A and B are shown apart, each in its own frame.
Chain A
């Protein structure tokens, strides 16, 4: 008898079917990977297992945890189940923790609630648990607050809370999506060792087959609320019986077809760029400290070149990008773009440079003003042209860039929220293209997208490079993106560029510690497939 057994579960919201006859099992001591793209129903499955389905949901079928039907239990019984027998790890460690409570209290809270232990005993236990997840009390006292920790450390706290009571089942919903690859590898290791040593079951939910491949004993693949394929990981990965599974695997290892372009004239040249930030005073009349986000960075890029800037989160790559875009000024050093030192120019004199250098951001949700039409948004950079085009000309230009990124001109009259994440990223690219730039700086342009959409967007960038001779600087922590479409890679660590070279050379034979760490941590489906 399995620990968690979902049988023929159908969940409807009004006329919309979120889950359609889903069946899956998680046994004690087993890691089950649930893989699917957004809208596939993977989170709904997790919520059903916890008895946390939204009120508007109508559920049919059985969710049996240890023989008891979760869907039929009352809220009181569910409360004793959650946390005690089932622990949950969420995607976003920032919002999963209460910002005004110390980490010790948050871990102890559940222990007190479920076992009725005294506060002192519970804190004792919380301390042991935090030590186990890699936050030893000597360095991370219980009275720390979540904001004093980094993203990876916060996720460790969330895991400590979920695992504090030795739950028999852990559910982790995209536990590493918000983290960089090195932290991802550490957190996955931690989850694996936790469930292995306690013989608990783990339901690991992810959109990335690569992440699941290295972890799971069994894999369940969901698509549009249905189970497409389920079975032992070995078998699923090796045979790839279902076309959709193959499609997912291909998308995850996708590399656009491209031949390196002959390099053009030098385009961008950074010399000894440094950026210091003042840190807040620790005492009332104390000195302000400085934090060096970017430290003596020099590199150059040519026209039509595709370059990746890789590094872990917090290494200074986004600060560097903002300085290249002249949205922030270096403390010292110079940034030359098209022969002009843009780091010293006043805003008014930057129009020429801004026209030839545009930006695409990571978050396709946050990069548009929600109250403007797509036409208005795509045309915004036309402001930079010396001769302002008429309304009709602007619309014509907008329609042509939209066609370039594969969207219909009718999209211009709609609002950003009417588009999916992938479409919005295309609109962001269209906006960047409208001034016919020579360089696009893309800050994690695909890391918020599903794997299949990611593949399409990477193809689009490759196409733009080929057809328009566009140079791109890709800022990413995902080595796969770097490998897929760039010729040269710069590895950044703690504000410095520690390694530089042709992409394949650096990624196959990393020399610096930072690069080696990144390469070792990157989930690699191809390697995983070869291993099995």
Chain B
């Protein structure tokens, strides 16, 4: 019987990239995500048209060779706006995931290392944050502190904290009783050092997977907030507000809603698929269980 071998299951694996690229959902997700990232990066240097100029004569044009995605009700090029919007979405999601990781992971690791009442207090605190519907509370935060990209980032970031705290704690709790942790304690290492040297490297794959998934949720949340007018403020373009503005124009120019909507779908789908694929590649146990 092939013995379940924990050493093999998490060993450094040079074939991980090859296997990742052979995983269909990872590959599709990677291509979609790179497309969005490239569009955002490119917009720093070049967009087909400027996005601040109003050109009423060219308003609500259908997609054509000159304007691939058409123009909106001010005559602005939709492709250019989506490209600039991408960078806004990515920035918000990235910083929000960063906040979640930087605050959540240490919190979860700390709770797992200390245990007892401290663990209980930290995790019940997490539950309290979890209990609020994230988007609704984000609306509340931005309503109190004023709409804007920075407040949107903070609001979304706060709700990432308990997610990462939980993942980190669960991963760490499973590792603490292992023999190699006991051996490290017998070697006189303290809990902080054991967490850094033994626990963190062995839960990294969990955090990476959760990170990509939270990233896609961050993009969605940002779109939702700016749709309500609580995210990035005009004239900075954002996908959510483009959708909101297109709403009244649906009959005249359905393409004005179609393309920002597609951009959101591609971004969310891309990062989600990538996260799913990564999970299969990095955590073969989970795949076998399915």
**A344-359: which have CB < 8 Å to B?**
347, 350-351, 354-355, 357-359
A388 at interface, CB cutoff 8 A:
no
Residues of B within 8 A of A (CB): 1, 3, 5-12, 178-180, 182-190, 197-198, 201-202
A399-439 to B contact mask, C-beta < 8 Å, 1/0: 00000000000000001110000001000100100000000
| Complex interface: chain B residues within 8 A of A58 (CB) | none
Instruction: Find out whether the CB atom of A383 lies under 8 angstroms from the CB atom of B11.
Output: no
| Complex interface: chain A residues within 8 A of B202 (CB) | 369-371
A43 at interface, CB cutoff 8 A:
yes
Q: How far apart sit A368 and B197, CA to CA, in the bound complex (Å)?
A: 12
Give the 5 A-B CB pairs with smallest separation, nearest first. A43-B1, A381-B187, A367-B179, A417-B7, A361-B179
Given A370-B6, A417-B8, check contact A351 B186 (CB 8 Å).
no
| Complex interface: chain B residues within 8 A of A91 (CB) | 1
Given A359-B182, A361-B179, A367-B180, check contact A380 B5 (CB 8 Å).
no
Q: Which of A347, A357, A358, A370 contacts B10 (CB 8 A)?
A: A370
| Complex interface: chain B residues within 8 A of A327 (CB) | 182, 185-186
Given A354-B187, A366-B180, A383-B189, check contact A173 B1 (CB 8 Å).
yes
Q: A347-B188, A368-B180, A417-B5 are in contact. List 18 more A-B contacts (CB 8 A).
A: A43-B1, A327-B182, A350-B188, A354-B186, A354-B187, A358-B186, A359-B186, A361-B183, A366-B180, A369-B184, A369-B198, A370-B8, A370-B12, A371-B10, A380-B184, A383-B188, A417-B11, A428-B183
A363 at interface, CB cutoff 8 A:
yes
A305-334 to B contact mask, C-beta < 8 Å, 1/0: 000000000000000001001010000000
Given A359-B182, A371-B11, A417-B11, check contact A365 B187 (CB 8 Å).
no
A294: min CB distance to chain B, Å: 17
Instruction: Find out whether the CB atom of A365 lies under 8 angstroms from the CB atom of B7.
Output: yes
Q: How far apart sit A362 and B178, CA to CA, in the bound complex (Å)?
A: 12
A490-518 to B contact mask, C-beta < 8 Å, 1/0: 00000000000000000000000000000
Instruction: Find out whether the CB atom of B9 lies under 8 angstroms from the CB atom of A431.
Output: no
| Complex interface: chain A residues within 8 A of B1 (CB) | 43, 91, 173-174
A-B contact pairs, 25 of them (CB 8 A): A38-B3, A91-B1, A327-B186, A357-B186, A359-B186, A361-B183, A362-B179, A365-B3, A365-B5, A366-B179, A369-B184, A369-B201, A370-B6, A370-B9, A370-B11, A370-B12, A371-B11, A371-B12, A377-B180, A383-B187, A384-B188, A417-B5, A417-B7, A417-B8, A424-B7
B184, closest chain A residue (CB): A380
A419, closest chain B residue (CB): B7
Q: Which of A358, A377, A416, A431 contacts B11 (CB 8 A)?
A: A416
Given A380-B184, A415-B12, check contact A347 B7 (CB 8 Å).
no
Q: Which of A173, A365, A381 contacts B188 (CB 8 A)?
A: A381
A47, closest chain B residue (CB): B1
- Chain A interface size band reads 35 or more
| Complex interface: chain A residues within 8 A of B188 (CB) | 347, 350-351, 354-355, 381, 383-384
| Complex interface: chain B residues within 8 A of A363 (CB) | 179
| Complex interface: chain B residues within 8 A of A380 (CB) | 183-184, 187, 189
Instruction: Find out whether the CB atom of B178 lies under 8 angstroms from the CB atom of A366.
Output: yes
A350, closest chain B residue (CB): B188
Q: How far apart sit A351 and B185, CA to CA, in the bound complex (Å)?
A: 11
Q: How far apart sit A359 and B188, CA to CA, in the bound complex (Å)?
A: 12
| Complex interface: chain B residues within 8 A of A367 (CB) | 179-180, 183
B3: min CB distance to chain A, Å: 7
| Complex interface: chain A residues within 8 A of B12 (CB) | 370-371, 415
B194: min CB distance to chain A, Å: 10
Instruction: Find out whether the CB atom of B183 lies under 8 angstroms from the CB atom of A347.
Output: no
Q: How far apart sit A350 and B4, CA to CA, in the bound complex (Å)?
A: 35
Q: How far apart sit A271 and B179, CA to CA, in the bound complex (Å)?
A: 27
A92: min CB distance to chain B, Å: 9
Q: How far apart sit A330 and B188, CA to CA, in the bound complex (Å)?
A: 19
Q: How far apart sit A191 and B21, CA to CA, in the bound complex (Å)?
A: 49
Interface-centre pick from A358, A371, A381 (highest chain B CB count, 10 A):
A371
| Complex interface: chain B residues within 8 A of A415 (CB) | 7, 11-12
Q: How far apart sit A370 and B201, CA to CA, in the bound complex (Å)?
A: 10
**A378-407: which have CB < 8 Å to B?**
380-381, 383-384
| Complex interface: chain B residues within 8 A of A416 (CB) | 7, 11
| Complex interface: chain B residues within 8 A of A424 (CB) | 7
| Complex interface: chain A residues within 8 A of B11 (CB) | 370-371, 415-417
| Complex interface: chain B residues within 8 A of A350 (CB) | 188
A379, closest chain B residue (CB): B187
A424, closest chain B residue (CB): B7
Q: How far apart sit A377 and B10, CA to CA, in the bound complex (Å)?
A: 15
Q: How far apart sit A416 and B202, CA to CA, in the bound complex (Å)?
A: 15
Q: How far apart sit A460 and B180, CA to CA, in the bound complex (Å)?
A: 22
Q: How far apart sit A384 and B183, CA to CA, in the bound complex (Å)?
A: 12
Q: How far apart sit A58 and B184, CA to CA, in the bound complex (Å)?
A: 44
Instruction: Find out whether the CB atom of A371 lies under 8 angstroms from the CB atom of B201.
Output: yes
B204, closest chain A residue (CB): A371
Q: How far apart sit A415 and B6, CA to CA, in the bound complex (Å)?
A: 13
Given A365-B3, A370-B7, A415-B11, check contact A325 B180 (CB 8 Å).
no
Instruction: Find out whether the CB atom of B6 lies under 8 angstroms from the CB atom of A366.
Output: yes
Q: How far apart sit A83 and B1, CA to CA, in the bound complex (Å)?
A: 20
Q: Which of B8, B180, B186 contacts A369 (CB 8 A)?
A: B180
A265: min CB distance to chain B, Å: 23
| Complex interface: chain B residues within 8 A of A357 (CB) | 186
A431, closest chain B residue (CB): B183
| Complex interface: chain A residues within 8 A of B197 (CB) | 369
Q: How far apart sit A363 and B3, CA to CA, in the bound complex (Å)?
A: 12
A358, closest chain B residue (CB): B186
Q: How far apart sit A249 and B3, CA to CA, in the bound complex (Å)?
A: 24
| Complex interface: chain A residues within 8 A of B9 (CB) | 370
| Complex interface: chain B residues within 8 A of A358 (CB) | 186
Instruction: Find out whether the CB atom of B187 lies under 8 angstroms from the CB atom of A368.
Output: no
Q: How far apart sit A367 and B5, CA to CA, in the bound complex (Å)?
A: 11
Instruction: Find out whether the CB atom of B183 lies under 8 angstroms from the CB atom of A365.
Output: no
Q: How far apart sit A358 and B188, CA to CA, in the bound complex (Å)?
A: 10
Interface-centre pick from B7, B185, B189 (highest chain A CB count, 10 A):
B7
Q: How far apart sit A334 and B24, CA to CA, in the bound complex (Å)?
A: 60
A5: min CB distance to chain B, Å: 23
A186: min CB distance to chain B, Å: 23
| Complex interface: chain B residues within 8 A of A351 (CB) | 188
| Complex interface: chain A residues within 8 A of B184 (CB) | 369, 380
